[in-house]
Amino acid sequence: MAAIVLDDVNSDFDPFDARTRIDPYPAYARLRAAGPVLRLTKPGIWAVPRCDEVKAVFADHVNFSNAGGAGIANHFKNKPWRQPSIILEADPPLHTRTRKVLARIMSPGAMRRLEDQFKAKAATLVDGLVAKGSFDAIRELAEVFPLSVFPDALGIDFDGRENLLTYGAMVFAGFGPENDYFRNLMARAPTVLQWVTAKCQREALSPGSFGAQVYEAADTGEITQDEAPLLVRSFLSAGLDTTISGIGMALYNLARHPRQWAILAADPSLSRAAFDETLRFDSSAPYVFRTTPHETEIAGVRIGQHEKILLLLASANRDETRWERPDELDITRRVSGHLAFGTGIHGCVGQMVARLEAEAVLSALATRVASIEFTGDVAYRDSSGLRALSSMPVRVVPK
């Protein structure tokens, strides 16, 4: 343990201010220059803006706990709005058990079994949009595609699928401070939460699906019968809004970098790498929290017990000590090692599903479309947990 304890550095940066949320990158650069760990005075939390310290925190689940909450809410001090996730908001040994089940369900072999179906659905959807010529790339593509494949893979039927979007929005808004956006969503909580609970039951899930496989793990004793519906809930929480946001931001960033789109259109096999580069460049899940179970330190700065620490993934992904030309979108760069999915024991367990979905959409589009032109302004969603667009009007020029 370091003997020297440095003073903390204060910053008035507010990650939840709607004005900084649209373009946080200049502020992130100032934070990285200011120090390895900063005190954000307004929300009263710590923030880690550089790559090395984000990785160090991710590697240390003893000093930086998830059981204290992965959002700004402090589960060590206050009761959270929903029963905590038994994978995201849990530490070992509980996390080790539940993670193993989800990692197996979303294994590379499982992805190969879904690939043809995802690609066929994307091809049909994109054929229709290219025939139309003009469309909203968020409402008609980024939102439609995941909804057309993910609930099927999860194993739920058609009735009420729109509740998945509201629930995902609630979960991610719930990672930020309690604001009007969150309160408005929560007004719909009674119906939405009842629907979510119903869809997490064994009888709601089709045979062989991701959800049914969670119950198989309960039958073999890997998890308890009580844990099964809660673990299915993680698919509903984390499986849809994330991919919608990520695919939307990928389309946006590729469209506003026409030379990058041209490279992709010339070689659609770059689709997966292009998705990862857009995640590095403009992460749709820009941050995640940890909580200190006891006093500790980061880079020589003392952090007290039960403090919230904001890991600025989107900033770490622009760290000039880690990336060459960090502020340039370059789909041909070696992008592996970006932090948009986190890393370590809590690194996104569904990232292969996300990549499969995004690759299906981007390769279908890149195969057919020479260029994408904006026909109006984009609009950002007002979520404090996810960085996402709500609208992106475009015209596509077929090859």
Q: What residues make contact with ligand OVM under the rule CB under 6 A?
A: 85, 87-88, 171, 234, 237-238
Nearer Cβ to ligand OVM (239/393): 239
**Buried-state track 356-373, b at ≥16 Cβ within 10 A, e below 16:** bbbbbbbbbbbbbbeebe
Report CA-CA distances (Å) from 318 to 36, 48, 210, 243: 14, 13, 35, 21
Nearer Cβ to ligand OVM (11/234): 234
Nearer Cβ to ligand OVM (242/278): 242
Q: Least CB distance from residue 84 to ligand OVM, whole Å?
A: 8
Q: Least CB distance from residue 365 to ligand OVM, whole Å?
A: 26
Phi-psi label, residue 65: left if phi above 0, alpha if psi -120 to 50, beta otherwise: beta
Sequence-distant (≥ 6) Cβ neighbours of residue 104 within 8 angstroms? 213, 217
Q: Least CB distance from residue 154 to ligand OVM, whole Å?
A: 13
Q: Least CB distance from residue 41 to ligand OVM, whole Å?
A: 27
Nearer Cβ to ligand OVM (69/393): 69
Q: Least CB distance from residue 70 to ligand OVM, whole Å?
A: 7
- d(CA 74, CA 178) in angstroms, rounded, equals 12
Nearer Cβ to ligand OVM (87/101): 87
Nearer Cβ to ligand OVM (34/186): 186
Q: Least CB distance from residue 87 to ligand OVM, whole Å?
A: 5
The closest alpha carbon to 277, from 358, 189, 346, 183, belongs to: 358
- d(CA 181, CA 307) in angstroms, rounded, equals 25
User: 47: part of which helix (H) or strand (E)?
Assistant: strand 45-48
Nearer Cβ to ligand OVM (213/234): 234
- d(CA 331, CA 274) in angstroms, rounded, equals 5
Q: Least CB distance from residue 102 to ligand OVM, whole Å?
A: 9
The closest alpha carbon to 371, from 253, 249, 258, belongs to: 258
The closest alpha carbon to 317, from 31, 93, 1, 49, belongs to: 49
Nearer Cβ to ligand OVM (11/85): 85
Q: Which long-range contacts (CB under 8 A, 24 or more apart) does 16-21 make?
A: 16/43, 16/176, 16/177, 16/179, 16/384, 18/382, 21/380, 21/384, 21/387
**DSSP class of 362:** H
Q: Least CB distance from residue 312 to ligand OVM, whole Å?
A: 16
- d(CA 159, CA 169) in angstroms, rounded, equals 19
